[in-house]
Structure 1
Amino acid sequence: MDLVNPGFGLVFWTAITFLILLWILRKFAWKPILGAVSDREKSIKDALESAEDAKKEMQNLQADNERILKEARAERDAMLKEARELKEGIVAEAKEQAKSEGDKMIKQAQATIESEKTAAVAEIKAQVANLSVDIAEKIIKGELSDKKKQLKLVDDMLGDIKLN
């Protein structure tokens, strides 16, 4: 037998063997192999879908995080602005209160100074009046101790009255 030029019988039995092998493989091996490939394809497809869903969910979470962060920043800015305005209001109120208290103290001091000035002027007037009366009393005592001086004083006074 020559392997390079096989005979009809060899080709026939090789083809029959091949067909039987093909039938056995189809009956017992192809279904499990194709099932495993199909299962593998399905699991890959499911994994891709899960990955795509996870990617979408991550994008949604990222968008939510950005939105929440933006809201938090806006709220922080609003709180800082409110605190700044409150601080400015308190400072302005304290300045106004300090100014009014200062004005009040100045007015009280001016009133006290004026009343003390009035009291001092009145006291000086009283002292001047007392000194004047004391001086006049001493002068009059000196003038009235002599009879001639008394008469002359009366004449001078009468003369002053006539002139007026």
Structure 2
Amino acid sequence: MDLLLPGVGLIFWQALGFIILLILLGKFAWSPILNALKIRENSIDEALEAAEKAKEDMAKLKAENDKLLDEARLERDKILKDAKDASTKMIEEAKEDASKTAEKMIADAKASIESEKKAALKEVKNQVAELSLEIAEKVIKNQLSDDSKQKALVDEYVKDINLN
């Protein structure tokens, strides 16, 4: 049975070797391993914090971009509305100007026609008066060519004067 149970000396030396191994590992291995693990844990925490901060920054940038995009859309809509209003106003002004110009041209044409009409009527009246004078002159010359006709005309005028 001695073979199955270890001796006290063997247990002592194994325990002593294990304790020395633990002291050596604690002094030379566990400290650096634990320090490396702490440094690694810190770097992972910093990386997570940096990732969280970057995520927040990206969210802020996205919100700012959305805000700028909305402002740009509003500005575009305002510019388009202003341009449409300006074009409508310009078209209305052009129509009014064309209407005023047409009315002025019509009024000028009417005035010109009226003026030419008056001038033509005046000329016709003058010609009629001249023709009337010429006809009257010829009739009077014809009627007053001899003395008996002149006396008869004077007598007729005298009768008219007495009657009036």
TM-score under structure 2 length normalisation: 0.90
Structure 2 partner of 1:79:
79
SS in structure 1 at match of 2:6: coil
Name the CA distance, whole Å, in 2 between partners of 1:152 and 1:87: 87
Equivalent AA in structure 2 for residue 6 of structure 1: P
Match of 2:154 in 1: 154
Residue 149 of structure 1, CA deviation: 2.4
Deviations 1:103-143 (A, max 9, x none): 22222111111111111000000000011111111111111
Distance 2:11 2:100 in 1: 124
2: CA distance, partners of 1:133 / 1:13? 172
Partner letter of residue 153 of structure 1?
A: L
Name whichever of 36-45 and 138-147 sits farther off: 138-147
Pick which of 114-123 and 150-159 moved more.
150-159
> Can you give the 5+ residue segments of structure 1 that lack an aligned partner in the other structure?
none
- Aligned counterparts of 2:60 and 2:39: Cα–Cα separation in 1: 31
CA RMSD of aligned residues (A): 1.7
Distance 1:163 1:71 in 2: 104
Task: For residue 150 of structure 1, report the CA deviation from its aligned partner.
Answer: 2.2
Looking at structure 2, the residues matched to 93 and 141 of structure 1 have their Cα atoms a distance apart, in angstroms, of 70
Please give the alpha-carbon distance, in whole angstroms, between the structure 2 residues aligned to 1:43 and 1:144: 146
Cα deviations by residue, 1:69-99 (Å, 9 ceiling, x for unpaired): 1112222222222222222222222222222
User: Percent identity of the aligned residues?
Assistant: 53
Counterpart residue number, 1:120: 120
- Paired letter, 1:16: L
Q: How many residues get paired? A: 163
* Residue 110 of structure 1: aligned partner: 110
Aligned to 1:100: 100
1:12 aligned residue: 12
Q: Name the aligned partner's letter for residue 108 of structure 1.
A: D
Partner Cα separation in structure 2 for residue 25 and residue 34 of structure 1: 12
**1:40 maps to what in 2?**
40
Give CA-to-partner distance per residue, 1:4-31, whole Å, 9 cap, x none.
5433332332222111111110010000
* In structure 1, C-alpha distance between the alignment counterparts of 2:137 and 2:23, rounded to whole Å: 165
1:25 matched to which residue of 2?
A: 25
TM-score w.r.t. the length of structure 1 is 0.90
Secondary structure of residue in 2 paired with 1:54 = helix
